[in-house]
């Protein structure tokens, strides 16, 4: 007899060559009940053995074509212009990818009733009263943050069924994408370079595989709305670096504590931030790993 469970879910992952995109591809390529199509701005997928198409999200017709051709049940948007400081200067480019891209995805998704799972950030908050719940009032400090808040608003008025998963300080990068904070720190300390790490930015760093878990639960339970997806521990970036250095037995004396002000970064950062994950825990059964557990996974998988 015909069974709904045998029908494969069609999932389109955008930004598939990025940190989150690669982890999503790895996860969904192993799921038997999923037909996966990965796309990103590059000519080729960095992940072997999956269906891949090039698609620049800033090109309206290209977005329309890939969505209508593949006819996804779900679009997971892991593509973004993610350079926080450069966004202050390359404003047009950041807006095009982060806001117009979401607009183009949602206009076509609405026609065929695809659900969009979009990723946002704690940077939409000003970091005065964190950690934040899903209902707290956004107040972005920098341009990247403004684009991400605008992308959320695009979905809210789009008429599509959507979920927004907000995350912060993603780590757990794959071998072929930009390096994350953990890898950067491990590489720097192994090369005996001195690093300056801020003591006044507090949040709950998110292991990328935990975010994949959150996304998969939203899809599995057909949830809509906003969910915070963060790590189990709230701590400063300096404290995070100490745990990483201890775990990999690296020289902690090379880590110099500094304040955010001393770094003179182009974009302002929220200081007292982080995301309360109670809603995801209760509604999705979200259970993040501890930092040490996730570092152990990274060590094993990336041979760090």
Ligand X SMILES: NC(=O)c1ccc[n+]([C@@H]2O[C@H](COP(=O)([O-])OP(=O)(O)OC[C@H]3O[C@@H](n4cnc5c(N)ncnc54)[C@H](OP(=O)(O)O)[C@@H]3O)[C@@H](O)[C@H]2O)c1
Binding interface with ligand X (CB under 6 A): 14-15, 17-21, 40-41, 56-58, 78-82, 97, 101, 119, 121, 148, 167-170, 177-178
Identity of the residue, 102 or 189, whose beta carbon is nearer to ligand X in the bound complex: 102
Q: Please state the closest distance from residue 254 (CB atom) to ligand X, in A.
A: 23
Q: Locate tokens 């509604």: which residue?
A: 283
Task: For ligand X, give the closer residue by CB, 8 or 156.
Answer: 156
Instruction: Quote the least distance from Cβ 7 to ligand X, whole Å.
Output: 28
What is the nearest approach in angstroms of ligand X to the Cβ of residue 46? 9
Give the dihedral of Cα atoms 149, 153, 155, 159; nearest 10 deg.
Answer: 180
Tell me the residue number closest to ligand X, measured at CB.
18
Strand 52-54 relative to strand 74-77: parallel, antiparallel, unpaired? unpaired
Which C-beta is closer to ligand X: that of 114 or that of 201?
201
Q: Compute how many other C-beta atoms are within 10 angstroms of the C-beta atom of residue 224.
A: 14
CA 224 vs CA 150, 208, 217: distances in Å: 18, 21, 11
Shortest reach from residue 3's CB to ligand X, in Å = 34
Listed in order, strand segments (DSSP E) in the chain are: 9-14, 34-40, 52-54, 74-77, 115-121, 162-167, 170-171, 195-198, 202-203, 206-207, 225-228, 235-236, 255-258
Q: Using the minimum distance from each CB to ligand X, give the nearer residue, 230 or 279.
A: 230
Nearer to ligand X, 44 or 194 (CB): 44
The minimum distance between CB 6 and ligand X, in angstroms, equals 32
């Amino acid at each position: 007899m015909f069974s709904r469970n045998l029908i494969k879910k069609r999932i389109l992952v955008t930004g598939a060559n990025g940190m989150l995109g690669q982890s999503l591809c790895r996860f969904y390529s192993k799921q038997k009940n999923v037909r996966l199509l990965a796309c990103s701005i590059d000519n080729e997928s960095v992940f072997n053995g999956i269906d891949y198409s090039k698609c620049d999200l800033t090109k309206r017709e290209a977005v329309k074509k890939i969505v209508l051709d593949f006819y996804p049940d779900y679009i997971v948007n892991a593509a973004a212009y993610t350079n926080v400081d450069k966004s202050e200067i390359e404003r047009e480019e950041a807006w095009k990818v982060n806001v117009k891209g979401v607009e183009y995805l949602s206009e076509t998704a609405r026609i065929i009733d695809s659900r969009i799972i979009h990723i946002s950030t704690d940077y939409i908050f000003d970091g005065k009263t964190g950690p934040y719940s899903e209902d707290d009032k956004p107040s972005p400090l920098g341009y990247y943050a403004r684009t991400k808040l605008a992308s959320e608003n695009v979905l809210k008025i789009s008429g599509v069924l959507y979920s927004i998963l907000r995350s912060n300080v993603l780590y757990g990068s794959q071998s072929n994408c930009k390096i994350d904070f953990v890898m950067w720190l491990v590489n720097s300390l192994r090369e005996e370079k001195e690093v300056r790490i801020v003591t006044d930015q507090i949040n709950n760093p998110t292991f990328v595989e935990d975010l994949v878990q959150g996304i998969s639960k939203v899809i599995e339970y057909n949830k809509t709305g906003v969910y915070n997806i963060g790590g189990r521990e709230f701590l400063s970036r300096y404290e995070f670096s100490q745990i990483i250095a201890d775990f990999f037995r690296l020289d902690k004396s090379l880590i110099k504590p500094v304040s955010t002000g001393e770094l003179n970064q182009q974009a302002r950062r929220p200081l007292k931030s982080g995301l309360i994950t109670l809603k995801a825990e209760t509604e999705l059964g979200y259970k993040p790993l501890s930092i040490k557990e996730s570092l152990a996974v990274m060590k094993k998988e990336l041979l760090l």
